[in-house]
Each structure stands twice: as C-alpha cells, then as structure tokens.
Structure 1
Amino acid sequence: MYLSRVELDPTRRSTMAALAAPQKLHGAVESAFTGERRRRLWRLDRLGGRLYLLLLSEDVPELSGVVEQFGTGAAAETRSYDPLLQRVEPGSSWQFRLTANPTKCCKDPKAPAERGTVAAHCSTKYQKQWLLDRAAKHGFALREEEFTVTRVQWQHFAKHGIRPVTLLAVTYEGVLQVTDPEQFRALLCQGMGRGKAYGLGLMTVMRGGN
C-alpha cells in the first residue's frame, strides 16, 4: 500500500470547483491509475493553513495531472504504507484522524418490511456514538472523552450532473487503542462508512497516546 499527498491551491478556479463537487476530485484520483478500476480511499486535509489531498492506493499513482489541475506546483509525495501497517500491534495506542459520513437507517413503522431511508447524524452526540458503535468490529477501542468532532461540512452536488447527492462529512480526531490488529489494518486499507468515492472513510494514524 502507498500513501500519497498533494498540496492543493484553493485559490485556483479549478480547485474551488472541485471542492464544491467532490466527484471532480474522484475522477482526478481515478485518472492517476491505469488498468483495472478500483475504489481508492482519499481525503482532503487542512494542516497549518494548507490544503492537501491524501490518497491511499495499492499501486504508486501518477499524480502529475492532479498537480497540474489543482495543485500549487509542488510535486506530489508518495511513500510506502507497509511500515506503518507492520507497527500495528495489540494494545498499541494511536492518534487518529477520520473524515466519515455517519448515518442511520430510518424505517417507516407502517411498512416495516420495506427498506429504510438513510439519514445523516446531525448532532455531535450521535456522530460520536456512531464511531463508538463501530470501534469493536474494526479492531479498536475508543473512549468518548479521548476523541472529538473537529469539523462538520455538508456536501451538495449532482452525480453525473443529474442525480442530486447530499453527504455530511464529519472529521473526528483523538486517540484509540488497537484490540485486533488484523481488523484494524483492514480498516486502514478499506475505510469506514459511506461516501468513499467522495473523500470519506479514510482513517489515518500516527503513534501517540500512552
């Protein structure tokens, strides 16, 4: 696995358009690869007043097109993700950042057999509970007082220029502890929740905590 980073220029018209319509960035990410089409995890990060595109992939991407279209001119950075994955051990603590789409399924009590509709969790309480509820099956433990919601943003755009899409992007940051390394590595490589094509679901970690 490889983790890549491209600094984006938010003052460029093309970048502003892509920030308003995440499918444009999704297309740019996919164009960085040849061969079989696969779902790659990516995310927008704001660090130190700068805007970055993070991309996790099985192969080394060709990101010159992304740099040319949306970047500052600085070259993309790519490094192997495997050394980090190998350091995931039972009981290890990690600082994490995750931007995800916390949702719930709402069923009509008058039609219990029908498939429910998906709705976003709009309050911080339930956004945090959504992550707490999913921790165990993804191989980590999390305490409510050790993480927080740092950013919430609605995304409204039209898929293929026709079908309206609304997603709630919620960024979590804090400290977690690994309980099952295999499940946790799968989470890091495969993501969590809905909206992965639109920059959601990627968790990144760095050693931290106790």
Structure 2
Amino acid sequence: MYLSRALLNPISRAVRADIADIEGLHRTIMRAFPDGAGPHPRRAHGVLFRVDEAVLRGRFVLLVQSATRPDFTRLPEDYFLDIQEDLGLTEPSPIENPAIREVGSERARIRAGDFFRFSLRASPTRRIDTKSGDDGKRRNGRRVELRDDASRLDWLRRKAMAGGFELCGAEDGAGVGGVSAVEEPKLTGRGSGASEQRQQLTLAPVLFEGRLRVTDADRFREALAAGVGPAKAYGFGLLSIAPEQG
C-alpha cells in the first residue's frame, strides 16, 4: 500500500480545471496508474484520494492512497508545485513533490486498542425511495445528504462499528474533545459515461476530524484500504490516520 502527498501548482490551468470538476480530477489522478485494469480501474488499483486546501496562500494538497505505486510523470507537466523555486513556501514540505511512501508495513503493526488521530472527508447520506415497485422488486432508491451534525455523527459511528474502530470523545473520559463534523462547500461535476448521458453531480462534503480507537485490527485495515462511505471516485472516503504522540 502506498500513500502519496503532493503540493499542486495553483497557477496550473489543468489543476484549476480539476479543482472545479470532481470527475476531471478523478480522470487526471487515474492517469498515474497503468491502463488495462478492467472495468473498474480505481478499485483494481485501490485508489482513494483527497484534496485539502492549505491555509497558507490557498495551496492545494493532494493525498493519494493506492495498492499500486503511482507514476505521476504521466500527469500534466506543470501539475505539481516546484518546491525548489517557491521561496514563499514556509509550511513543512516533502523532500520530493510528489512524495510517495510505502505504508503496508506500518499498518501491519496496528493492533486492537491503538489510538489514532484521524481525518476523513466523507459524503454522509441515506437512501430513500427504496420500497418495492409495482413489480414487487425492491428499488435501489436514491441518496440524500444528511443535514445535521447529530445525523452525520451517527452515520460515522455506524461506519466505525463496521470498520473495526470506535470514535473517542469527551464522553469516554479520555479528556479530549469530541469528533468534529465541518460542512464544506458543495462540489460539482459531471458523472462518467458518454457525454450525452453524463448527469450533473452535486456532492456535499463533510470533514470529520478527531480521535479513534481500533477495536478490530483486521477490519480496521480493511476499512483503511477500502475507504469509508460513498463517492470514493470523487475524492471521498480516504481515512487518514496519525499515531498519537506520547
């Protein structure tokens, strides 16, 4: 498993276009992986990604997790910031940009009872209109966003239970604040498929941050690899973790 971090070039026309179109960003990132991976290349290569906007001068930080080592030279030439020439860069920066590291051995050492700080951009939703139709078949229904913090946190708790971890907050006696759920601006783009069939997409991101405890190490590793929640092709579901210090 690989984890990549890259500072995107904020003046790149390709970067600006992708930031404004979630489907375009997906297509660009998948260019870093070998072709011929079948009908579901993102799943085949185990790709999850997220773009965070850094506080400093509105920079964009791309995180990519993948089972296949990416080749970022296949992306547009000016897609990544040249950190050697950017004299105004005062935030911690990688030695290389993009920086790629293997994280499989780290995750193999995770055990039940371990605590981590985490960050997750997700699309908390619920399905409606799933009742059976006139033909007696149950419909898939459609997803609608959850609009209040209580519902969103309940959604995340259910995902945590299935994913081998639990959320930690002040109520557990650990002396830390609860998990935060910050609503972010909606993201737009067009879905995949033929141009005449591509529908407008609007997704409602929520950034969850806080502290978790591993309850089942194997299921937790599976959740890390597979991602959490829907819309993984559009920059959602990557569960970032960092071990607690001290």
2:125–2:144 contact (8 Å) kept in structure 1: yes
Residue 11 of structure 1, CA deviation? 3.4
> Which position in structure 1 is the counterpart of 2:94?
none
> In the TM superposition, what whole-angstrom CA distance separates every residue of 1:164-188 from its partner, at most 9, and x where no partner exists?
1111111110000000000000111
Query: Is the alpha carbon distance of 1:144 and 1:123 closer, same or farther for their aligned partners in structure 2, counting shifts above 3 Å?
Result: farther
Q: d(CA) in 1 for partners of 2:60 and 2:18?
A: 13
Residue-by-residue CA offset, 1:39-63 (whole Å, 9 max, x unaligned): 3111112345232111111121111
| Cα distance in 1, alignment partners of residues 219 and 34 from structure 2 | 29
Identify which of 156, 171, 178 aligns with 2:188: 156
| Aligned residue identity for 1:156 | T
Are 1:93 and 1:176, in contact at CA under 8 Å, matched by a contact in 2? yes
Does the aligned pair in 1 maintain the 2:169–2:211 contact within 8 Å? no
More strand by share: 1
Give the partner amino acid of 1:53.
L
Whole-Å separation in 1 of the counterparts to 2:148 and 2:49:
25
Q: Tell which structure's C-alpha radius of gyration is larger.
A: 2
State the partner residue of 1:187: 223
Structure 2 unaligned blocks of 5 or more: 84-96, 171-177
Q: Secondary structure at the match of 2:233?
A: helix
Counterparts of 2:157 and 2:150, CA distance in 1: 11
* Alpha-carbon offset, residue 116 of structure 1: 2.3
The one of 64, 77, 92 equivalent to 2:73 is 64
Which 4+ stretches in 1 moved above 6 angstroms? none
Distance apart, 1:195 and its partner CA: 0.7
Q: For each residue in 1:79-114, what CA deviation from the matched residue of structure 2 results, as whole angstroms up to 9, or x when unmatched?
A: 001132023111010000011111001137796944
Aligned length: 210
Q: Which moved more, 1:42-51 or 1:78-87?
A: 42-51
Give TM-score, length-normalised by structure 2: 0.77
Aligned to 2:179: 147
Q: What is the one-letter code of the residue matched to 1:208?
A: E
Distance change in 2, residues 1:67/1:208 (3 Å) = farther
Q: Give structure 1 stretches of 5+ with no counterpart.
A: none
Structure 2 Cα separation of the partners of residues 203 and 108 of structure 1? 29
Moved more, 143-152 or 54-63: 143-152
Give matches, 1:3-42, under 5 Å: 3-35=3-35, 36=37, 37-39=41-43, 40-42=47-49
Q: Which stretch shifts more, 58-67 or 105-114? A: 105-114
Instruction: Please tell me the residue identity of whatever aligns with 1:16.
Output: R
Q: Tell me if structure 2 keeps the 8 A contact 1:41–1:196.
A: yes
* Cα distance in 2 between the residues matched to 1:54 and 1:66: 15
TM-score, normalized by length of structure 1? 0.90
Q: Does the CA-based 8 Å contact 2:122-2:228 persist in structure 1?
A: yes
Post-superposition shift, 1:157? 1.4
